[in-house]
Structure 1
Amino acid sequence: MPREARLRGESHGQTASNVAAVSQTEPRNGLQSTQLPVGSDTDEKMGAASNSTQRTRADRKERNMSETSDPQTHISPLPSEYSQDELSSKASSASDSVSASIDAQSTTSSCDEEEPLYNIHKIGSSVQDILAKDTLTASAVNDKHIAIGTSSGMLYVVTKEGLLHKGFQFHTAKVQQVVLDSTGTFIASAGMDGLVCIASLHTSEQYRFDFQRPMQTIALEPGFGNRSSRAFVCGGMNSALVHREKRWFGHKETILHSGEGPIWTLSWHDRWIAWANDRGVRVLDVYTHNVITLIASPQPSIRMELARCHLFWRDPLTLLIAQGQRITVANIRSRFQEAEDVLQNVSSLSTLIPNLNTNEPNYFAEITEIFQVDYLVSGIAYFQDRIITLAYRAHPDDLQALHNGAVRYQHDAQLQELCVIDDQGEEIGSDLVYMDDVHARCNDLHLASCWLPKKSSSDSRDDFLLYVAGRRTMIVAQPRTEKDHLEWLLERHEYGQVLEQLERMGKDQAQALELDYHEIGREYLHHLIEEQHDYSTAASNFARLLGNDAAAWEEFLWLYLDRHELDAALPYIPTQEPQLSEVVYDMVLVHLLHTDERRLLQTLRTWPAELYSRQAVAAAIQDRASSSSTLVACLAELFLAGHAPGKALQYLLQLRDPTVFALIREHNLFTDVQDKLAQLVELDQDIAGTQKPPSDAVTPLLVDHQHSIPIQRAMSQLDAYPWYAYHYLDALFDRDPESIGSYANQLVSFYAEYQYSKLMSFLRTMSSMYSFEKAYKVCVKHDYVPEMIFLLGRTGDTRGALNLIIERLHDVHMAIDFVKQQDDTELWDQLLVYSRDRPEFLRALLEQVGGEVDFARIMRNIPENLTIPGLKPAVIKALHTMHLQASLLDDCSAVQFHAVQGLVAQYDAALRAARYCDAQTRCIVCDQLLLVHAQPAMMFFCFHSAHLKCITSIPSRFSDADPFMQPTRSFSGTYADNRRAWLSLDQTSEEPDFSSLSSQTQSVQPTNHAKILSEAQKQALQRTKQLHTLPLAQSGCPICAQRQAYSLE
């Protein structure tokens, strides 16, 4: 990495009035030329005009120097009022300091190899032949040709490939400069013989001008080949800037500027002409022929004969100036635009108008940046926002001598470089240039650049070329492309960087570069394995670099197996996309079987079972599984993966795996475990950490699947585990009490031992299922008195039960309740006998006086002189209870009497109720009109009516009647049904309204109503007397009786 230092100045946006001072004008050949004054005044004004700060920059590598190295030299920003002499002095001292520091560093450390910035190669063929016989003194390039001027005065035009296109013998002395116009059709040259020549490359058009003094430089107007004026400017030792253009009667010559020494170089771009002389660089506006600025040369300056000034237009308004060890950036700005900017910042025009000078040029140049480098600049170009310089690294002694005014070099150059500088003045890279001429000086080197047109419409950009020419050699440098960069990395085995960049590019762009991502990836993997032996890193990149290439995966896995490094690749072996062959997965599993059993188990749990041969792997494991629980687990995993959970179950039980219960439920393996309940119980105990877990996993499994595991089979295996047997029977009893019939006695024992709170309820509810004798023995064993009392009571030994209550429990209330439940007089007698000499029992009996216990009997049973605490309250309570009972009985009798009385009254009202009958009333038997033909009829209290002959025709015994006969219903029958509903109402309710029926009887009303009613009454009374003597009339309505007999209604 070359060494450099920088001195940079930044513009602070000065207004037009302080950017440049306008000097007095000097008329020259009828033209006025506006220029900046020179000398010390100019230096001060340039300092104020640029208003820039400058600082030195040590080489980037100097930041990493060892602690023994000298500290870096820092230069503070310079004030805007520094003179040019001060500016140059500080820049020179900064450069010397940095160079010394870098020299010290170079003795203690070495640089790593850096990628070149350009592809550099020599131009051979005709160029090599020309320079073998002559010396190159000038060169120019465009997109089609290369122009060469030699020390003998010859001009050569060659193609880009170096083939000679045309030659011209215009000069008799060294050619100082050669140029090609922007159209590529004309060549122009300036020589030491004072001649300036212009010639067409395709026609015979030529121009030759003799200025009698050595000419140093020439520039053609933009678009020279397309313009009829054929204008150009030139200059040299005659100290005049001469402008010539073609007119009708010859060429017109104009002196644009003169009087400041030889003109060493010039450049014509758009409307601006820039040239350099001993005082500095001036810029002229072609439209107005006004010089808009003077940029003074650095002081002390190096003679132009030893280090020529170079001009390059970065864009139409930005000029790059390289002279000696300084690079200046100048921007051309409009004075009117500057005034507008000022107007936006002032509140009144009155403060600005006096400062506006209408005699000043419309444009001015503003120095925006100054870069100080530690080499002499032999040429300058611009590419992709970067300044490119051709660096001539002179001997340090020569540099010092040149600044002190030396007129020659004492030493040969150390080296030449193409340097790249960013917009901050930082050198970001450089390439060495080998010119095969150790005696070349700064002005013997030339740098030119051009853009080549796109080769095709698919190209994204033009090609940029740099041409470096020496006295005997011409080389071309092309910025390296992305493909060049990647190939350079590949040559140095930097595969990682290449792959990362290809990933960022994408597949299409990588293919355009003719680079195969996967092929490079495989090379990278082989490099890691074969050269670096980094198997882990290589394996971690398999997925990214091999992709879905199954063959490549298998190749590397077999390679890892051969190198005994397969463990490094295990985490990255794919199971899908791509899926490898079965033999590869079998190979991996067998390898793990012999090296790492735990990893084998983990792999079996993660790999799909379809990848490998389960039978082969299981057979290999079974040969070694007897001594390893891990291999037993592997077998279980294999059978699970092979959808054989029944076979896996035995291995899981052997391992005491907690997932057994979930496996049994998930795959319905109850038949498989019906003879393995002991193992399940022991597994559950291990999981719970106790022999008697409060809740277990075995019981729900057995209860929920009784059809698969019968109760008898389960109990035969749970006998050795009474706690689980108890839980099992208890759960069965809760679900289906009838299912435990044969195990009821055993459940009584379990409740007595494990769950006493459930014992009594079980004894009460399931008394038909267990043996009272065995249950009593169990209760006696555990001394459960209440249960013993219950069992004695159920077996009929009430006296024994009462004795237990009295003797063991001494609970008088329980004894009384027990006697009440039994409702046995003898038990009352036994209780009274037992209570004779027990005051607390007597008091309790008195308090319980009721229907079961006679108060007088209790009182008579009390011995004389027996003291009973609380007797008086007990007697009072007993008497009160008796009085209350008597009162309740009286009240109940009164309520009953009144209720009966009401029913009797209601019945009497029903008997007294009127029975309606009219001409429309029909016989309920024959369904004929009842009151026609003077037939005798009967009306019952049920409001049924019938002819007497119809009644007598009904069978006397209902068993002889047709049970399916449907009796007819007359209007009177319907009325009878309704009437029964009315009679059920309260007696105070009003009788129903029969007005609706009056209209039905109007048509049959007799004329002598009173007489008919009287006769009818007589006949009715007689017939009623007769009917009452008949058994049929005494038995009531036969129709209702028939309905009740057959339940027809």
Structure 2
Amino acid sequence: MGFSKRKKRHSRALQDNNSSPKTEDAKIQEPACPDPPQASEALRREESCEASAFPSLITAAPSHENKRLDVAMDESNDVSTASSSRSSESKDLSSPTVRPLHEKADTGPSNEALETISGDEEAYEEPAFHTEFLKSSVTDILARDSISSMAVSLHHIALGLQSGMIFVLSRTGHLEKGFQVHSAPVLDIVFDSTGEFVGSAGMDGIVMIAALSSSEQYEFNFHRPMRSIALEPQFGNRSSRAFVCGGMSGVLVHREKRWFGYKETVLHNGEGPIWAVAWHGRWIAWANDRGVRVIEASTHEIIALVPASPNAPRPELVRYSLYWRDLNTLLIAQGDRITVASIKSRNKATEDEVRAATPTVPTISGLVSSLAPASRDLHEYVQVIDIFQLECLVSGIAWSMDAMITCAYLVDETELASMDSETLQIRPHQSPEIRLINRHGEELASHVLDVSDFTRFHCNDYHMRASLEPKWDPVLQEDVLSPVFFVANPKQIHVLRPRNERDHIQWLLEHDEYREALEALEALGSGPAAALGFDVAAVGRDYLTHLIHDLHEYTAAAQLFPLLLRSDVAAWEHFVFLMLDHGQVKTLLPHVPIKDPELGEVAYDMILVHLLRTDEQTLLMTLRTWPGHVYSTQAVATAIEDQARNSRVLLECLAQLFLANQMPGKALLYLLRLRHSSVFELIRENDLLIDVQHKIGALVELDQELADSQEPQNSALIPLLVRHTHSVPIQRAVHQFEPYPWYQYLYLDALFEKDPSLVVPYANRLVRLYSDYAYPKLMPFLRSMSSVYSFKEAYNVCEERGHVPEMVFLRGRTGDLPGALNLILERLNDVEMAIEFVQQQDDADLWNILLAHSCNKPDYVRGLLEHAGGEIDPVRIIRPIEYGLVIPGLRPALMKTLKNFHMQHSLLSGGMTVLMNHTKELVYRYQSVLSAAVPCDAQAVCTVCEAPLLQDFYVPIVLFLCMHAAHLSCLQPQMESHPSHASPMEPVTLSTTRLYADSRENRIGEDSTMLYPQERESFSDEKDPTLDLLQRSAQTRQHQHLAKQGCPTCAKERAYCLSD
């Protein structure tokens, strides 16, 4: 529901879980009978007081008769124990630590300050309830009589009247039934929990219970005014038909139906009139002059007493109100104070714990308790968990919507501070209020009742009852039970229904609280909001219109456009035109969408036209931000050209428009005219250098302006020209750079770094530019480009500027070495440079010139000794020295020369030693390889034919040092054509001694000792020696050729590796 926004003004917790005095142990306290004068005075007050009713919707229960027993209480708030003759127990929850009820802290504005609230603020306060008067039959009934009590069930309303009549009406106010039982005002009337029976108690002492749908009816006459009645839970469904009642006699009576009639049990008496009773579940609570007691309905055991406030008004002036919040929590309203009591279960104490808790020092209370018989342990006790002090009197209380609902009777603070006065006057011009108070004592909402002639009514004339009614929920699409409250005064009945979310939102819209309404709709969600009948988009549009037309809060409205208008193009265009009509184009501009959604061209054109008239700079920024397709480029350009003329901003706008229209060439002309910083970036991105190839001078001036220097080190123009030599030819660029020699130097230097061949036609010019602007680069250029520039012109330039090292270089390149050396000796006077120059040229004549020049110059002699000692014989340096010439530093120079010679000698000796050792090592390795054994066995195969090497008959074989072996016959064809395949062979065990001997005779595989004896003899006998010699020579040459070829297998592997 939607609550009104109110200050927390009247509820204050005096006692909570941390600060409230808790009586954890069961204390038995017997009631004390009132003194006779007090009793008689109470009877007299009963005779004169008006009828009152009590706001309990729950039934009540019976009690025991208890004996009177004084209670001893010490300063530590401990209550002494006593016993009862009937084992009935109670619990006194009084505590002196509770603050006086009227010691109020300064927590807010006074009542006088609250009265100064303006009528406008009150008029805009949202009501908490829908209020209507119950009419129909009620109007006719109250025209002749007045209400003295009221009860409400799910389907009916029961009215007890001053005349004694009882009327039962429907929830809409139509009369359904009437009872004429009482002859005096009906002081209390209740429904049972089934809603089928109604019970009443009257001043005439009669208690009546009647069924609504049958003729069943019970009447009891107690002969004393009866002020309260409570029916047992599910009274209509139980055969016991039990109820409790009490009145001015001070006796709480429990009656229960048995076989032979009703059985009556006195639950409690002797503590003054029974002002109210409430029965819920297994607990019965009733209020008397001592306070509120709680009893267990089935065992009739009293478990506690919640004492009355000592400053509370008399119950006949301000009634007790009892309401069971749940099965174990009781709300007690007494005067301006609400007490929340909770029934809790205790763990049964062990014997040791009881003994430990027994006082060791004898006391009077201890003696009394020791003489009394032991009482039974109670398993439940009552604990006060909250006490709330209000700034009004409470004439009724209920619990609903997780809050306390109170009927507040407003009185002056002075009257509230003197509760013992005989009469309480209502505050002038203050009607009663219905207030909602949460568990923490904070007021959530309030509603002022519209009571006719409210000044005539007192606190007990008002009766409030809470109930439920089915109500259709459009969100859940089903009936739900919604709370409803009935407040009666003697002449009217108010029906209050909490305002739901739809009512809250509707009220907000009616009072132009659109923001809160939109927040509430957003919290609901689109589906439930639509089910409640609200169009969120329409509410948003109304809110924006309200902000613009009524409040003139243009900034706030513009900020809400994206949130509320979303993708509604028509709505966007409507509010765009509305803001333009109010002259708020700059306020609107940051929030105008350019996509999702994209508006029509007319909307964007109108915005740009307004900016053209009001703010040219913002127009330029907008054109940079918006894409060109959202507005009409040609139309906007035409409008700007009409006003551009000498306006730099508008010229830049035109350039931006051409850029947006994909015409960067035209835009570049405007930007160059404006000397804009984006010119070079535009040229770079769009390759536009060809469009300004004849305006290099203008680009140079722009570059100087941007760099704030006539000779900028980092130019934005030069890289563009170097990169796009195809767009601007080098010759054209160099020509246009004539007035700007610095830029000419930057341009040619950049070309030289990119490709030296590009500057060949301009080499002489580049020598001059390097000489003027980049002297460190001159010498590298002269060295690298000596074939393209004029030596004479270059020498003249260097001579003009005094660049002697470059003159030395140029004389050396032209062959004038003595002249170059003379420049070093005469103009530079640098012996180290002279020595370096002579060393580079390696010319004996130059050494002679240098020695001749140095013979009478001590610095030169010392320099030659220090730097040229390794290049020339020091004797040649020392011998020409004139006798008596003083040479500073000669000794260190000679020592350095000797050290250099000694070092050279040591290096030569060491190098020779290393070389000899390395040679020996290689020789030894070579001998080891040649003398290594090669294994061979019967399994060895030829690497060419893969046949066994060792056969029964003689076959010559060739063994290579790579451990491959082959038949000689297989290798001979390899001399002409090598086979295309080879296979590795297994090791062959053969002696290499003979092979080594044969190799020294230039023979491989030829040995007469390898022939069998028979063959050798026949060979020597049959063949001619000359022929044999020729054959041997041929074989020797063949074997030598074969040996030079090497192993065919290894040759193939090397060829394969090389091919990869």
Q: How many residues align?
A: 885
Cα deviation for residue 380 of structure 1 reads: 1.4
Code of the residue aligned with 1:387 in structure 2: it is M
Structure-2 separation of matches of 1:198 and 1:855: 149
Q: Is residue 443 of structure 1 aligned with residue 460 of structure 2? A: yes
* CA distance in 2 between partners of 1:812 and 1:362 (Å): 120
Deviations 1:618-647 (A, max 9, x none): 333333333222223323333333333333
Change (3 A) 1:505 1:823: closer
Counterpart for residue 163 of structure 2? 152
Cα distance, 1:390 vs structure 2: 1.5
3-state DSSP of counterpart to 2:690: coil
Q: Which has the higher contact order (CA 8 A, sep 6+)?
A: 2
Unaligned 5+ segments in structure 1 are 51-78, 892-967, 976-984, 1025-1036, 1038-1049
Question: Residue 403 of structure 2 aligns with which residue?
Answer: 386
Contact (CA 8 Å) 2:65, 2:267: kept in 1 or not? no
Cα contact 2:431–2:451 (8 A) shared by 1: no
- In 2, are the aligned partners of 1:597 and 1:630 still within 8 Å (CA)? yes
TM-score, normalised with respect to structure 1: 0.72
Offset at residue 433 of structure 1 (A): 1.4
| Residues 559-583 of structure 1 deviation map (CA, whole Å, 9 limit, x = unaligned) | 1111112221112112222221111
1:394–1:413 Cα contact (<8 Å) kept: no
> Does the 8 Å CA contact 2:651/2:670 hold for their aligned counterparts?
yes
Superposed CA offset, 1:72-117 (max 9, x none): xxxxxxx97539xxx89x43x547x999993543566658323322
Report what 2:469 is aligned to.
452
What aligned pairs does 1:636-1035 form with structure 2 within 5 A after superposition?
A: 636-788=655-807, 791=810, 990-991=1000-1001, 994-995=1004-1005, 1007=1018, 1009=1020, 1012-1014=1023-1025, 1016=1027
Deviation at 1:193, TM superposition (A): 3.6
Q: Please, which runs of 5 or more residues in structure 2 have no aligned partner?
A: 1-5, 35-61, 81-92, 361-365, 910-970, 979-994, 1035-1040, 1042-1060
- Partner of 2:64 in structure 1? 33
Q: Secondary structure at the match of 1:321?
A: strand
SS class of match (2:182) = coil
Look up the equivalent residue of 2:163 and give its one-letter code. Answer: S
Match of 2:448 among 432, 454, 463: 432
Q: Give 1:1013 deviation, angstroms.
A: 4.8
Answer whether contact 2:998 2:1006 (CA < 8 A) is retained: no
Q: Given that residues 490 and 498 in structure 1 are in contact (C-alpha distance below 8 angstroms), is that contact kept between their aligned partners in structure 2?
A: yes
1:458-497 equivalence runs, <5 A? 458=477, 462-497=481-516
Q: Is 1:318–2:337 an aligned residue pair?
A: no
* Contact 2:835/2:864 (<8 A) preserved: no
Query: Aligned residues: percent identity?
Result: 44
Cα 1:989–1:681 change in 2 (3 A) is: farther
Aligned partner letter, 1:474: I
- In the alignment, what sits opposite 2:608? 589
Residues 720 and 251 of structure 1, relative CA distance in 2, 3 Å threshold: same
Distance 1:712 1:258, change over 3 A: same
Q: Which residue of 2 aligns with 1:264?
A: 275
- Structure 1 counterpart of 2:563, one-letter code: R
Structure 2 counterpart of 1:602, from 621, 634, 659? 621
CA distance 1:752–1:243, shift in 2 (3 Å): closer
Counterpart among 196, 217, 226 of residue 207 in structure 2: 196
- Structure having the higher Rg: 1
Corresponding residue for 2:632? 613
> Which residue type is aligned with residue 430 of structure 1?
S
Q: 1:16 to 1:34 in 2, by over 3 A?
A: farther
SS of 2:14 mapped into structure 1: coil
Q: Which amino acid in structure 1 is aligned with residue 693 of structure 2?
A: Q
CA distance in 1, matches of 2:74, 2:145: 47
Cα shift at 1:816: 9.4
Partner residue, 1:82:
96
Aligned to 2:435: 419
Q: Deviations over 1:759-782 (max 9, x none)?
A: 344334433322334334323433
- Give the 3-state SS of the residue equivalent to 2:726 in structure 1: coil
Cα deviation for residue 379 of structure 1 reads 1.4
CA contact (8 A) 1:813 1:844 kept: no
Find the residue that maps to 2:169 and give its secondary structure. strand
Q: CA deviation at 1:461?
A: 5.9
TM score, norm. by length of structure 2: 0.72
- How far did residue 1000 of structure 1 move? 10
Q: Distance in 1 between matches of 2:831 and 2:284?
A: 137
Question: What per-residue deviation string (whole Å, max 9, x for no partner) do you get for residues 871-911 of structure 1?
Answer: xx99x99xx9xx99xx9xxx9xxxxxxxxxxxxxxxxxxxx
Q: Which amino acid aligns with 2:135?
A: G
Q: How does 1:397-408 map to 2 (within 5 A)?
A: 403-405=420-422
Deviation for aligned residue 1:448: 0.7
Is the counterpart of residue 288 in structure 1 residue 296 in structure 2?
Answer: no
Tell me if structure 2 keeps the 8 A contact 1:395–1:414. no
Deviations along 1:841-878, whole A, 9 cap, x unmatched? 9989999999x999999999x99x999888xx99x99x
Residue 959 of structure 2: aligned partner:
none
Asked if the contact 1:22/1:34 (under 8 Å) is kept, the reply is: no
Question: Which of the numbers 191, 208, 211 marks the counterpart of 2:222?
Answer: 211
Deviation per residue, 1:176-220 (Å, 9 max, x gap): 222111111112222334332222222232223333443332221
Instruction: Call closer, same or farther: CA 1:685–1:246 in 2, change over 3 Å.
Output: same
Distance 2:868 2:222 in 1: 161
Rounded Cα–Cα distance in structure 2 between residues aligned with 1:970 and 1:255:
144
Contact 1:25 1:35 in 2 (8 A): no
Quick one: distance in 1 between partners of 2:156 and 2:587? 60
What residue is the counterpart of 2:144 in the other structure?
133
RMSD: 5.3
Are positions 1:274 and 2:285 aligned together? Answer: yes
Cα deviations by residue, 1:396-443 (Å, 9 ceiling, x for unpaired)? 78768861446x979999532223333344545432212324322222
Q: 2:400 corresponds to which letter in structure 1?
A: F
Which residue of the partner structure matches residue 568 of structure 1? 587
Alignment counterpart, residue 339 of structure 2, candidates 328, 336, 358: 328
User: 1:302-313 maps to which residues of 2 (within 5 A)?
Assistant: 302-313=313-324
Query: Residue 373 in 1 paired to residue 390 in 2?
Result: yes
1:122 matched residue in structure 2: 133
SS at match of 2:15: coil
Q: 1:123 to 1:700 in 2, by over 3 A?
A: same
Q: Distance in 1 between matches of 2:590 and 2:502?
A: 34
Deviation of 1:807 (Å): 6.5
Q: Which amino acid aligns with 2:96?
A: Y
Q: Report the residue type matching 2:484 in the other structure.
A: L
- Distance (Å, rounded) in 1 between the aligned partners of 2:872 and 2:382: 137
Are 1:835 and 1:841, in contact at CA under 8 Å, matched by a contact in 2?
no
What is the CA distance between 1:393 and its match in structure 2?
2.9
* 1:476-555 matches, cutoff 5 A: 476-555=495-574
Q: CA deviation at 1:648?
A: 2.7
Counterpart in the other structure of 1:105: 113
* Counterpart residue type for residue 315 of structure 1: D
Q: 2:342 aligns to what SS in structure 1?
A: strand
